[in-house]
């Protein structure tokens, strides 16, 4: 499975980045509100409203190739653009470069048949439908350990019959279809399951600390859910491989967007400490506050460098299994530190709904869990490094 798409953008990235910044500041941020953050129907309406301008501004679907209506950016170009988009809660979805559909589209592009691409990728690319990726399950099913996958797909009468329960499925409420990971006799396999298929049911939208997730976080029940052979995505038995190859660029683009989110929180905190006085001095004149600002800029700079380095490796067609894990662990913890410092600098205001800083702080915390818990990444990194005769042990190459 390829992890890159056809690229074709030859324009000025700085100008494109500036257009994205204007879109975020002028169109996306003004629509944000605490009331909107957990209203799935209202979020869909807001995104639909913003997408026309995203298209008019020439910033729509930056990661997709031009033949699918996108800009054809490579991953290094995406670093700058997705960071800018990530400053806003609504902008990535409006630009159609938000999870779960960004990696869903790239997965369909890489392993979908021509018929599957026409039926499923086309509507996603045009923004006419949404999809979700259904892998996580309640205990004792799959979570950070995909080998615990409990959902089954069995052959009956020439069709596939799926049974299982999925949890915390981002974008699952209102999704037109799901990419479902299920165990088969050949091993884990990936299926495209229409939301209107008999036996497929969204049980509920699970309340979360985060917000602005288009389609919420669904619990999905598969009960004797029948699909045909045309629903099998890629080859049977390669589902874990497809899931991992989907996750590598997905976690990298998460880094890009969340760097933008953390940078926005820091900018708001910097503005606050420069005008807020306490004990006869501006907060910005206190050395402890200055240290928090400096440390946050160090964290953001290092995060950008690691993300750009991983993006370059992805563009070069090299395996980024090791590098993307290191990048995800570092960036997820660095942006959390930045947001936490922004909250601390702003005091009670930082944990209120009066500014977006509180929501940014809540959004960034789960990144240490998303796309594999950081503890799991550290364990697998160390095992890989300490493997006998591993070049990583002696050279540090990633």
Convert the pLDDT of each residue in 186-197 to its tens digit: 999 999 999 999
Per-residue pLDDT, 2: 40
In sequence order, which residues have a C-beta less than 8 Å from that of residue 254 and are 6 or more positions away? 99, 328, 367, 370, 371
Q: Is the peptide bond before 140 cis (omega within 30 degrees of 0)?
A: yes
- The torsion defined by the Cα of 33, 34, 38 and 42, in degrees rounded to 10, comes to -30
The three state secondary structure string of 118-176 is HHHHHHHHHCCCCEEEECCCCCCCCCCCHHHCCCEEEEECCEEEEEEEEEEEECCCCCC
Let me know: does 173 contact 213? Beta carbons within 8 Å: no
Rounded to the nearest 5 percent, the helix, strand and coil shares of the chain are 55, 15, 30
How does pLDDT run across 261-289, given as a tens digit for each residue? Answer: 999 999 999 999 999 999 899 999 999 99
Threshold 0.85, pTM exceeds: yes
Per-residue pLDDT, 304: 98
Per-residue pLDDT, 146: 86
How does pLDDT run across 283-305, given as a tens digit for each residue? Answer: 999 999 999 999 999 999 999 99
Per-residue pLDDT, 392: 73
Q: Is the pLDDT of residue 1 over 60?
A: no
Residue 31 has phi, psi (to 5 degrees) of -85, -10
* Pairwise CA distance, residues 107 & 179, whole Å: 10
* Pairwise CA distance, residues 25 & 194, whole Å: 36
Per-residue pLDDT, 10: 82
Mean pLDDT of 305-314: 97
Rounded to whole angstroms, the maximal C-alpha distance in the chain is 80
Mean pLDDT of 326-333: 98
Q: Is the pLDDT of residue 131 over 80?
A: yes
* Pairwise CA distance, residues 229 & 177, whole Å: 16
Domains of the chain with CATH codes: 13-98 (1.10.540.10), 131-236 (2.40.110.10), 240-386 (1.20.140.10)
Average pLDDT of the residues of the chain = 95
How does pLDDT run across 366-383, given as a tens digit for each residue? Answer: 999 999 999 999 999 999
Q: Is the dihedral of CA 30, 33, 38, 42 positive or negative?
A: negative
């Amino acid at each position: 499975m390829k992890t890159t798409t056809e690229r074709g953008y030859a324009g000025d990235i700085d100008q494109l980045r500036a257009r994205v910044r204007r879109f975020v500041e002028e169109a996306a941020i003004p629509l944000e509100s605490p009331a909107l953050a957990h209203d799935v129907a209202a979020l869909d309406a807001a995104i639909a409203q913003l997408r026309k301008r995203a298209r008019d501004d020439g910033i729509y679907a930056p990661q997709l190739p031009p033949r699918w209506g996108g800009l054809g950016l490579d991953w290094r170009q995406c670093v700058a653009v997705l960071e800018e988009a990530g400053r806003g809660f609504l902008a990535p979805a409006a630009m159609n470069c938000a999870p779960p559909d960004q990696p869903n589209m790239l997965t369909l592009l890489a392993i979908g048949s021509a018929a599957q691409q026409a039926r499923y990728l086309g509507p996603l690319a045009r923004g006419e439908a949404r999809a979700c990726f259904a892998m996580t399950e309640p205990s004792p099913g799959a979570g950070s350990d995909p080998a615990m996958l409990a959902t089954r797909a069995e052959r009956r009468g020439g069709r596939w019959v799926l049974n299982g329960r999925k949890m915390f499925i981002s974008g699952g409420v209102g999704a037109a279809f799901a990419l479902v990971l299920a165990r088969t006799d050949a091993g884990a396999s990936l299926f495209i399951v229409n939301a209107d298929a008999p036996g497929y049911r969204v049980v509920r939208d699970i309340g979360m600390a985060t917000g602005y997730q288009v389609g919420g976080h669904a619990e999905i029940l598969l009960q004797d859910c029948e699909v045909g052979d045309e629903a099998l995505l890629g080859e049977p038995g390669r589902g874990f491989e497809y899931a991992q190859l989907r996750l590598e660029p997905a976690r990298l683009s998460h880094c890009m967007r969340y760097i933008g989110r953390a940078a926005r929180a820091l900018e708001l905190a910097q503005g606050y400490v420069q005008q807020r006085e306490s004990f006869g001095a501006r907060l910005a004149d206190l050395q402890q506050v200055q240290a928090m600002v400096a440390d946050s800029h160090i964290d953001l700079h290092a995060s950008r460098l690691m993300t750009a380095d991983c993006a370059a490796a992805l563009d070069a067609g090299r395996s980024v299994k090791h590098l993307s894990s290191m990048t995800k662990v570092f960036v997820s913890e660095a942006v959390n530190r930045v947001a936490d410092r922004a909250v601390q600098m702003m005091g009670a205001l930082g944990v209120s709904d009066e500014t977006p800083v509180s929501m940014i702080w809540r959004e960034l915390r789960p990144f240490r869990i998303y796309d594999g818990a950081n503890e799991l990444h550290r364990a697998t990194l160390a095992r890989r490094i300490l493997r006998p005769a591993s070049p990583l042990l002696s050279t540090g190459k990633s």
